[in-house]
Structure 1
Amino acid sequence: MSEDPSPTVFLAIYIVTFLIRFPNSVLAFYSCIRKIHSKPIPIDIFMLNLTISDLILLIFLPIKMKEAADNMVWNMPFFMCHFDLFVYLLPIYSSSLFLTAISAERYVCIAFPVKYRSPKRIIYTIPICVAIWVLVTASAVFVYKTAYTDSGVADNTTKRQTQVIEPQRCYSDFTVKQLTELFPVLLSIAVVFFFLPFLTCCFCYINFIRILLKLPLIKRQRRLRAVGMALGTLLVFASSFAPYNISHLVGFITKENPKWRATALILSTINACYDPIIFFCISKEMRSAIKVCAKASFQIYAYLKS
């Protein structure tokens, strides 16, 4: 991946992601709210926050579409470039932590079933979600501030305009001062929001599968669905977030901004398309809602055809 794809490829990915994920995100949000209102459990609250994270990304994704349509030239007010950097990073960071929280919940559910059913557990879930949002917001702001650090050696043409990190492409050239301060920050971000969460997910889901396979009373179909969900989540986690975070590690080692970072970041955007699989496997209400929508769609199609 020595070069980024053309802006047309980025635009196509943004449009497909939006069209596929936005209706499912709204449906998942409705299903989570309905389930929490009737009988809340910790994993439903984590799923709700994951949905909110996806919706934040999708609501502001048209900004990225406009940028790609303009051949990666920023033709919008410059303050929106600042804002776009923040709202684009926020869901990426939060998604990894909420996926980790869901994996921990699945493991606790099967490893400690008695403690999992304790009504007191719901009390601790909300503070955990709040802590995650505070952490990701602070991290996104920190990266934002570092990326906008002024440099005394900057070109005269940039005195009135600051720089941002790729793939925003408002300005893609970094000063030496910016790179020096940005690389350690991005490496720390990669450790906190990918490497540690990924190891946690691996531990939780490997033990989840190991325990699940030893339980004889669970039906084979349900067991296979749970195992597939665990393996699928790990695959999605790795394929979506690994390339972008590895680019931070490469940048820290080589002291150069990887040219393929924008390509790696686009995989984190596609992650929004994978989350419906997780919702479908975990939530019975989500499966029922999808079936109702599918049935209604077929009925409408049959009516219009007749």
Structure 2
Amino acid sequence: MGTNPEQSFFPGHHWLYFSVYLFAFLVGLPLNLMALVIFVGKLRHRPVAVDVLLLNLTISDLILLLFLPFRMVEAANGMRWPLPFFLCPFSGFLFFTTIYLTSLFLAAVSIERFLSVAYPVWYKTRPRPGQAVLVSGACWLLAAGHCSVVYVIELSEGSSHSPNTNGTCYLEFQEYQLAILLPVRLEMAVVLFGMPLLITSYCYSQLVWILSKGASHHRRKRVAGLVAATLLNFLVCFGPYNVSHVVGYVRGESPSWRGYVLLLSTLNSCIDPFVYYFSSSGFQADFQGLLRRLAGVWSSYRRERSVELKGKEGVKRGEHSLRELPS
């Protein structure tokens, strides 16, 4: 059975979608742009594996955020797709690919963090950026390969998503489409979410156990923040959405609440910057330095504007005084 979008959401649901997308865009875009500047600078000076992985994660988040306006337009139009139809599968493909890239890169970063603590001497002498580039490429291919099912479904013969029929984008599915889609979703839940979650949980549990033996309070606190931000991403942003894949496969139809939990996945772009912040003390210092520079630029701009406005007011007062002089 397919899913009727009018039965999948409460009345006015499209404004909920619009609000969440707008929030993610306004919060996530500046944070990830700052992270991009920091990682590019770090890789120019001394490229290391974890920074390569985090840079790829940042680029993935930025792609998601830059295509959120397409989703906002759709939500503002009552969940009907008003844009050219070729943008529907393209935006959907990028949307889902970037969501699953996050879980893959978070797992890869957890491995790097574990190695840096378990084998510190070996890790510091082997930055391995080349290997990280290969791992990143494999993550992109793995996520993109699975999420290409969006094109298979949207462009399948007799697809109900033609702009000449109901005008929706990846919301309603016929039985033959679900026969393809539901098993693929189940595999994505296992391969792109379940396995990364297990790897991340193992690596960070070992990391916490090792650091509990004698690490400084500051380092334990930073690692606790890293673990909390990562698990928040997995369990809150991605967990419910991937559970919907399992439920959908068992029931043979998309759950009516799937759209709601998909919104949680969108918020991962706002949480990832916290993963970057707690990933290393170097990033924290760079982030705080960048904030200070931006604050300095803003203060200089405000002072210049203040001087300019005062100058204009002085000129106006002078002109007014001249007009009041007797002729």
TM-score by length of 2: 0.83
Residues 1:170 and 2:169 aligned together: yes
Matched with 1:209 is 208
Alpha-carbon displacement from aligned partner over 1:147-203 (angstroms, at most 9, x marks no partner): 54335xx7xxx4955999xxx942633211111111111100111111111111111
CA distance in 2, matches of 1:163, 1:36: 49
Give the match's secondary structure for 1:78.
coil
Which residue of 252, 265, 279 maps to 2:262? Answer: 265
Task: Report if the CA contact (8 A) 1:57-1:91 is conserved.
Answer: yes
Change in 2 beyond 3 A, CA 1:117/1:182: same
Alpha-carbon displacement from aligned partner over 1:258-292 (angstroms, at most 9, x marks no partner): 11111111111111111111122222322322343
Letter of the 2:203 partner, please give it. C
Matched with 1:63 is 70
Matched with 1:87 is 94
Matched with 1:239 is 236
* Residue 296 (structure 1) shift: 3.9
CA distance in 2, matches of 1:91, 1:123: 22
Alpha-carbon displacement from aligned partner over 1:103-128 (angstroms, at most 9, x marks no partner): 11111110111221233623311111
Which residue of 246, 250, 275 maps to 1:249? Answer: 246
Give the match's secondary structure for 1:248.
helix
CA distance in 1, matches of 2:144, 2:229: 28
* Residue 235 (structure 1) shift: 1.9
Residues 1:53 and 2:67 aligned together: no
| Identity score, percent | 35
Residues 1:122 and 2:129 aligned together: yes
Change in 2 beyond 3 A, CA 1:95/1:11: same
CA distance in 2, matches of 1:50, 1:17: 16
Matched with 2:180 is 181
Task: Report if the CA contact (8 A) 1:183-1:251 is conserved.
Answer: yes
CA distance in 1, matches of 2:275, 2:33: 15
CA distance in 1, matches of 2:44, 2:188: 35
Task: Report if the CA contact (8 A) 1:47-1:102 is conserved.
Answer: yes
CA distance in 1, matches of 2:254, 2:165: 14
Q: What is the Cα-based RMSD across aligned positions, in Å?
A: 2.4
Larger radius of gyration: 2
Letter of the 1:150 partner, please give it. E
Letter of the 1:273 partner, please give it. C
Structure 2 unaligned residues grouped into runs of 5+: 1-6, 308-327
CA distance in 1, matches of 2:211, 2:45: 28
Which residue of 224, 228, 240 maps to 2:225? Answer: 228
Residue correspondences, number: 295
The 5-angstrom pairing of residues 27-38 of structure 1 reads: 27-38=34-45
CA distance in 2, matches of 1:194, 1:63: 26
Change in 2 beyond 3 A, CA 1:126/1:304: same
* Residue 231 (structure 1) shift: 2.3
Give the match's secondary structure for 1:63.
helix
TM-score by length of 1: 0.88
Alpha-carbon displacement from aligned partner over 1:211-249 (angstroms, at most 9, x marks no partner): 11112xx43123212222212211222111111111100
Task: Report if the CA contact (8 A) 2:8-2:259 is conserved.
Answer: no
Task: Report if the CA contact (8 A) 1:148-1:162 is conserved.
Answer: no
Matched with 1:74 is 81
Task: Report if the CA contact (8 A) 1:96-1:237 is conserved.
Answer: yes
CA distance in 1, matches of 2:175, 2:45: 55
Letter of the 2:291 partner, please give it. I
Letter of the 2:171 partner, please give it. S
Which residue of 4, 12, 21 maps to 2:9? Answer: 4
Matched with 2:290 is 289
